[in-house]
Structure 1
């Protein structure tokens, strides 16, 4: 509250003095995530621009039913690695790699670009040519360079001998200066992300020689002025696409990393209170939930009004997922009509999507209808959970009805008590779902879930 009042007073003072207020000082209270989608068997692959929103910057809600909000109409007709930049006038530019699919052997000299006032509509679509080299133009990031009065567009390319970051400068994202090498530390690099904080420019990148993520910094943001200052970071088997985000409330920073392969966990995250230090703490996966099937994206701060406009324009999902409390990389899904808890991601990814409808035997409760098998519900039979078609009987309706209560292991999460066996709760045991009595701390963890889009 005090921060918002201070920002309002600052804006009023600057207006009285005739000084412009940078959009970086706007009262952002929420976040937007731009991404494309893939899944292990590519059932969820879509190379258009997807958006998700979050109020805490950790748990994300896909918009437009996780369908693209805009798709390229030129070049390869697809995109990867979308990047959202808040420009100095408060509007947005969206840039993306011009690549439809996974044929990374293609060379392409162009980037996709759109303009947007508030991300509820996208205008001025074009492709801009970044260079004349026989190489790729991947993973753009952009930043405002106040000393030049221009935006820098940095992207991954090859200089003929190794992978480097190139830069072009622009004022309008239509015409750009000639390309030049921006960062070439003596080993191949990929996927840069640049954030300007005060007078310091932070560049996070992947070192292709060892597969780790690093942070570099510069006091000027000029080409070849960065010095790496962090140790290497990795979670999971492989990681790329570092994504550096300053918390809206100014309390700290987060770093996201893409798992590189759609068969592994999509995102990992770290946090720090001091981005200039060398101390990143890996976040437990209980703390965050990336958008469904999201790959290599970007995050920008948005205002409450922009958040509400995005939700109003694109709509919230009509399905939910259940994330395990003690195995937060696993979600409730059906497989061969059995209720299970499996590590995400998997295909068909729709097996984890549920319509939480009023309880079939009591509207005060809830029933879980499968999205990809409509008319089938999670129900217990001999205490084992399975996905069965509604046979219209009272017994089925009771077996398929649960009462949602505060999580037995975490009241911020949820547990589900059986309607017809009120001493039993939905839980997992050896990754299979059952309804059982709950007594131990392990039982309570097994019976606790986060309801998430």
Structure 2
């Protein structure tokens, strides 16, 4: 039987009795509390040298600062359709396991018509099984940016995605197994074109955040039932930067607040924006300072799910944390330490080559109690000072070079939760930026606030 026939099976409409039976039969796994988070995404960079359309994962314990897994390489890639994915979505099912849905699109040819979604099953995201594509409709249109939710009243999952039936709308298909799906129907069409819906069920309220394609603003809508065409928009428009899309709504694991992420849309702009709120229903979102969050490297249009401590440990054990670090500026938190033409500087992310900001922070060349910074894309070259200016130079293994390339990591001069780096052979001088260029200068607790901020970095 062809893949199309096998995966596009229409489900009958459930009777009231059948619905009640399905709800009663739905598993309610006794899961440990979520204490960490996992982020699924694909990658792009300004010149696309860092583009990869496989499934990438990152983890976080605070939901704000992320560590890519598998050295930011994909953990699984599609083997059918376009052989690439965008917009991956992770859903924890009622039995406690996961399903991953993704747009079937390899690259940026948005003119393609494609009626399928990629699907994987996973117990704990350390392996992926049952790969398949499911056909969502027979329309001459796309099937983009899936989100999914459990509809307890139906005893089924709803899969919502962006499509076009004369205008850009959200469609929905219902499923019990993510293999066969009901006939598609319009889920949300507010009278203007929409894109990139994300649905979160909180108690008895269904929240749908989406992009208004007419204005470019992000809005939130809500429903007491989650049924098709039952949502009412309740927020004013949100946007940061010049353009953004892919709203991503998540409640923190403590249950005390919410985050709303937004993708910058273009890989040449900022990668992610963030808001926070103590009450998702109050239409009150606060722009988050970039100092407080660090998205996964090169991440585009992803999704976030809560995970347990055991799942976090299993993910780290299976895929590994990065073998490199990035250094974020305290007072210019959109900028990272990088090398360019052998000069040390801070530049606004993203940029290419993106590897210019990746460092192996190794034991100090002159003192193992200190640290040295070896370039990832120029192995054997280290940040060192020369006439107090910071350069990227090859290690000539001289005593002078080893001393110039060694720093002591200390509590941040502007923020003790961050880090500053004191020169090994000029112990009154610290690594800092000035006009975005790196150097070492004399600094102390009595230095100006600006000078101390210039010398403070987040290691991530």
What range is the shorter-chain TM-score in? over 0.9
Match of 1:191 in 2: 196
Q: Distance in 2 between matches of 1:314 and 1:372?
A: 21
Is residue 26–residue 94 contact of structure 2 (8 Å, CA) maintained in 1? no
Match of 1:447 in 2: 455
Match of 2:403 in 1: 398
Q: CA deviation at 1:20?
A: 8.2
Q: Distance in 2 between matches of 1:253 and 1:43?
A: 34
Is residue 27–residue 95 contact of structure 2 (8 Å, CA) maintained in 1? no
Q: Distance in 2 between matches of 1:109 and 1:20?
A: 29
1:322 pairs with one of 327, 339, 345: 327
Quick check: 1:155 aligned with 2:199?
no
Match of 1:279 in 2: 284
Q: Distance in 1 between matches of 2:112 and 2:204?
A: 37
Q: Distance in 2 between matches of 1:25 and 1:278?
A: 31
Q: CA deviation at 1:22?
A: 3.9
Quick check: 1:170 aligned with 2:178?
no
Instruction: Please show how residues 105-116 of structure 1 align to structure 2 within 5 Å.
Output: 105-116=111-122
Quick check: 1:101 aligned with 2:98?
no
1:245-275, Cα deviation, whole Å (9 max, x unpaired): 0000101100000000001111010010100
Structure 1 residues 371, 143: CA separation in 2 closer, same or farther (over 3 Å shift)? same
1:85-114, Cα deviation, whole Å (9 max, x unpaired): 000000000000000000000000000000
Any idea what SS the aligned residue of 1:42 has?
A: coil
Match of 1:37 in 2: 43
Structure 1 residues 430, 64: CA separation in 2 closer, same or farther (over 3 Å shift)? same
Instruction: Please show how residues 300-449 of structure 1 align to structure 2 within 5 Å.
Output: 300-438=305-443, 439-449=447-457
1:29-75, Cα deviation, whole Å (9 max, x unpaired): 00000000000011110000000000000000000000000000000
Structure 1 residue ranges without an equivalent (≥5): 1-17
1:121 pairs with one of 107, 124, 127: 127
Match of 1:291 in 2: 296
Q: Distance in 1 between matches of 2:300 and 2:240?
A: 16
Match of 1:254 in 2: 259
1:203 pairs with one of 198, 204, 208: 208
Per the normalisation by structure 1, the TM-score is 0.95
Q: Distance in 2 between matches of 1:423 and 1:290?
A: 34
Q: Distance in 2 between matches of 1:340 and 1:177?
A: 55
- Shift >3 Å, 4+ stretches: 18-26
Quick check: 1:70 aligned with 2:65?
no
Q: CA deviation at 1:437?
A: 1.1
Any idea what SS the aligned residue of 2:355 has?
A: helix
Per the normalisation by structure 2, the TM-score is 0.93
Is residue 33–residue 51 contact of structure 1 (8 Å, CA) maintained in 2? yes
Q: Distance in 2 between matches of 1:195 and 1:150?
A: 15
Match of 1:235 in 2: 240
Q: Distance in 2 between matches of 1:167 and 1:357?
A: 51
Match of 2:10 in 1: none
Q: Distance in 2 between matches of 1:189 and 1:56?
A: 31
Is residue 419–residue 457 contact of structure 2 (8 Å, CA) maintained in 1? yes
Is residue 23–residue 87 contact of structure 1 (8 Å, CA) maintained in 2? no
Q: Distance in 2 between matches of 1:123 and 1:20?
A: 22
Any idea what SS the aligned residue of 2:313 has?
A: helix
Q: RMSD value over aligned CA atoms?
A: 1.2
Is residue 197–residue 247 contact of structure 2 (8 Å, CA) maintained in 1? yes
Q: Distance in 2 between matches of 1:82 and 1:136?
A: 15
2:137 pairs with one of 131, 140, 149: 131
Any idea what SS the aligned residue of 2:133 has?
A: strand
Is residue 270–residue 281 contact of structure 1 (8 Å, CA) maintained in 2? yes
Any idea what SS the aligned residue of 2:282 has?
A: coil
Q: CA deviation at 1:320?
A: 0.3
Is residue 23–residue 86 contact of structure 1 (8 Å, CA) maintained in 2? no
**Aligned residue pairs: how many?**
434
Any idea what SS the aligned residue of 1:286 has?
A: helix
Is residue 194–residue 210 contact of structure 2 (8 Å, CA) maintained in 1? yes
